[in-house]
């Protein structure tokens, strides 16, 4: 299907939406043809949600912190790394002002010290950061049965019941997989998963063993529909609800009556669910729109399976062909701003599942999310609560502990 707008005979794709208002400000949401609009321009004209943008301001630093943390924890016997080594990786890790300057921004997470025996400075994690790391590891190990179920569901959304192993490696943190998941999850469940070499060199495919697929899977959106139908004040006809998705828009986004009517029409459109087998693809407008809605249901379900209900667009794009999605994934997110939110903070495109968040936090948190949120709190805390440090390579500010008052300050600076 074309990435451009298709509005004809009452059929709708939400492609080509743009925002127009006074003095060009993006305040009003209207439908228009964007036959000459590039994908980059489409991203630039999207409506910004201040809550998600504020969250991503902190997350872009968290991503860098996790990258350095992983390097430190890579050596269990001596969890530390030399500053010289980090400095060589500064460009790759996007530490724009250098490794030392970056580490000093987060003294509640990193402790810089001088090793007299090696005559060079090193960095290790503070006690607070180590505690968060242990909490996350315990949560991941406790959720191994759920992890198996997530992988089975992802493979079940593929028509061939297989995906490249490299694609799973891209999202192993998002799915809450342990770092040794090849052994602890895949090999340990040989009756469910099978690894074999693909036709491409050095490429392996992860396949669902015949008989392991449960065709009775119910998508997350269907649970929401059941809850909505059971409400006494439900204003939507129950027959129409069976194809609906939850829609939510940020404050300040004014929707025209025409747009609301088009969304209502799209909501009524039947489609094949993410775990159902697709028949012959129809090239009619109605058939193409049904395939687009199926693509929405697949990425909606994928995001529902992630720990934080968010993922980088580049990572989920690795599954596009295997899920039978013939659309530009990024444009798909932009076409449906009531379901997804796309942020471009931190030189990366990250998509959120709108309905899973409220005021910048997950509505239904889980133990892994709670641990990662604690680390985010330490990132937001920055240098607050610490005295000035005069030593060149050593912080003696008691950065290994953070009080309840400091944690409260970090929460106040997060979306709430």
Structure tokens at 162: 């297989």
Mean pLDDT computed over 369-394: 79
- What pLDDT score was predicted for residue 96? 86
> Is 117 a domain residue?
yes
What are the E-state strand segments in 161-278? Answer: 162-164, 193-197, 204-208, 254-255
- What pLDDT score was predicted for residue 114? 92
Closest CA to 14 of 264, 204, 208, 193: 264
Do 73 and 163 belong together in one domain?
Answer: no
Q: Which of 74-88, 111-125, 354-368, 377-391 has the lowest mean pLDDT?
A: 377-391
Do 180 and 125 belong together in one domain?
Answer: no
Mean pLDDT computed over 233-244: 72
Q: Which of 104, 130, 156 is the last residue of a domain?
A: 130
Do 118 and 184 belong together in one domain?
Answer: no
Do 260 and 160 belong together in one domain?
Answer: yes
336-371 confidence digits (pLDDT tens): 999 999 998 877 899 999 999 999 999 999 999 999
Name the pairing type of β-strands 350-353 and 310-312.
antiparallel
Residue 64's domain comprises 45-130
> Is 337 a domain residue?
yes
Do 350 and 226 belong together in one domain?
Answer: yes
Do 263 and 156 belong together in one domain?
Answer: yes
> Is 394 a domain residue?
no
What is the rounded average pLDDT for all residues in the chain?
Answer: 82
Q: Quick check: 64 pLDDT over 90? A: yes
- What pLDDT score was predicted for residue 398? 40
Q: Quick check: 232 pLDDT over 50? A: yes
Mean pLDDT computed over 67-95: 92
- What pLDDT score was predicted for residue 402? 41
Q: Quick check: 75 pLDDT over 70? A: yes
> Is 332 a domain residue?
yes
| Residue 118 DSSP SS3 | coil
Do 286 and 351 belong together in one domain?
Answer: yes
Q: Which of 6-10, 241-245, 269-273, 341-345 has the lowest mean pLDDT?
A: 6-10
Q: Which of 77, 100, 130 is the last residue of a domain?
A: 130
> Is 33 a domain residue?
no
Name the pairing type of β-strands 28-31 and 254-255.
parallel
Q: Are 381 and 353 in contact (CB under 8 A)?
A: no
Do 351 and 321 belong together in one domain?
Answer: yes
Q: Quick check: 54 pLDDT over 60? A: yes
Do 123 and 157 belong together in one domain?
Answer: no
Q: Quick check: 377 pLDDT over 70? A: yes
Give the torsion through C-alpha atoms of 318, 323, 325, 329, to 10 deg: -40
Give the torsion through C-alpha atoms of 108, 51, 304, 280, to 10 deg: -140
Q: Are 353 and 311 in contact (CB under 8 A)?
A: no
- What pLDDT score was predicted for residue 259? 85
Do 256 and 303 belong together in one domain?
Answer: yes
175-191 confidence digits (pLDDT tens): 999 999 999 999 999 99
Do 107 and 154 belong together in one domain?
Answer: no
Mean pLDDT computed over 185-214: 86
Does the pTM of the predicted model rise above 0.85?
Answer: no
Q: Quick check: 404 pLDDT over 60? A: no
Confidence of residue 28 (pLDDT cuts 50, 70, 90): very low
Structure tokens at 277: 């087998």
Q: Give the domain CATH number at 61.
A: 3.30.420
Question: If you average pLDDT over each of 36-40, 230-234, 236-240, 362-366, which comes out highest?
Answer: 362-366
> Is 416 a domain residue?
no
276-330 confidence digits (pLDDT tens): 888 777 677 877 888 899 999 999 999 999 999 999 999 999 999 999 998 889 9
- What pLDDT score was predicted for residue 279? 74
Q: Quick check: 17 pLDDT over 50? A: no
> Is 383 a domain residue?
no
State the sign of the Cα–Cα–Cα–Cα dihedral 180, 184, 186, 190.
positive
Please state, in angstroms and rounded to a whole number, the distance separating the CA atoms of residues 169 and 183: 13
- What pLDDT score was predicted for residue 321? 93
Buried b (16+ CB within 10 A) or exposed e, 309-334: bbbbbebbbbbbebbbbebbbbbbbb
> Is 22 a domain residue?
no
Do 305 and 332 belong together in one domain?
Answer: yes
Structure tokens at 319: 């599954």
- What pLDDT score was predicted for residue 288? 85
Residue 199 gets which letter from DSSP? S
Q: Are 271 and 294 in contact (CB under 8 A)?
A: yes
- What pLDDT score was predicted for residue 151? 94
| Percent of the chain predicted with pLDDT > 90 | 51
Q: Quick check: 218 pLDDT over 80? A: yes
Q: How many domains in the chain? A: 2
Identify the residue with better confidence: 97 or 346: 97
Burial class from Cβ neighbours inside 10 Å (0-12, 13-18, 19+) for residue 208 reads buried
């Amino acid at each position: 299907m074309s990435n451009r707008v298709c509005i004809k005979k009452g059929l709708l794709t939400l492609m080509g939406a743009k925002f127009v208002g006074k003095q060009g400000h993006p305040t009003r949401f209207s439908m228009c043809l964007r036959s000459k609009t590039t994908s980059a321009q489409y991203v630039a004209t999207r409506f910004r949600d201040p809550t998600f943008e504020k969250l991503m301001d902190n997350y872009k630093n968290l991503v860098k912190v996790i990258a350095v943390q992983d390097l430190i924890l890579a050596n269990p016997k001596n969890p530390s790394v030399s500053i010289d080594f980090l400095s060589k990786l500064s460009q790759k890790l996007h530490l724009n002002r250098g490794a030392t300057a970056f580490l000093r921004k987060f003294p509640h997470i990193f402790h810089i010290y001088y090793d007299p025996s090696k005559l060079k400075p090193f960095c290790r994690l503070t006690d607070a950061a180590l505690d968060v790391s242990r909490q996350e590891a315990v949560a991941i190990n406790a959720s191994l049965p759920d992890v198996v179920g997530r992988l089975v569901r992802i493979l079940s959304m593929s028509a061939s019941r297989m995906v490249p192993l490299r694609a799973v490696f891209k999202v192993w943190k998002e799915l809450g997989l342990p770092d040794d998941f090849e052994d602890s999850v895949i090999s340990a469940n040989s009756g469910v998963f099978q690894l074999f070499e693909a036709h491409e060199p050095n490429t392996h495919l992860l396949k669902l063993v015949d008989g392991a697929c449960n065709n009775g899977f119910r998508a997350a959106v269907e649970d929401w529909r059941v809850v909505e139908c059971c409400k006494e004040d439900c204003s939507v006809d129950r027959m129409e609800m069976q194809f609906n998705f939850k829609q939510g828009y940020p404050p300040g986004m004014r929707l025209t009556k025409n747009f609301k009517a088009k969304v209502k029409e799209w909501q009524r459109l039947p489609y094949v669910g993410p775990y159902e087998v697709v028949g012959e693809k129809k090239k009619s407008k109605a058939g193409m729109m049904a395939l687009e809605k199926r693509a929405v249901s697949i990425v909606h379900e994928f995001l529902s399976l992630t720990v934080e209900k968010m993922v980088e667009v580049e990572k989920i794009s690795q599954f596009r062909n295997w899920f039978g999605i013939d659309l530009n994934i990024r444009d798909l997110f932009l076409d449906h701003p009531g379901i997804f939110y796309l942020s471009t903070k931190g030189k990366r495109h990250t998509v959120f599942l709108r309905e899973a968040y409220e005021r910048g936090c997950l509505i239904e948190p889980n133990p892994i999310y709670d641990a990662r949120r604690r680390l985010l709190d330490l990132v937001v805390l920055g240098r607050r609560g610490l005295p000035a440090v005069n030593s060149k390579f050593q912080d003696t500010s008691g950065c290994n502990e953070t009080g309840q008052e400091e944690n409260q300050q970090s929460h106040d600076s997060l979306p709430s």
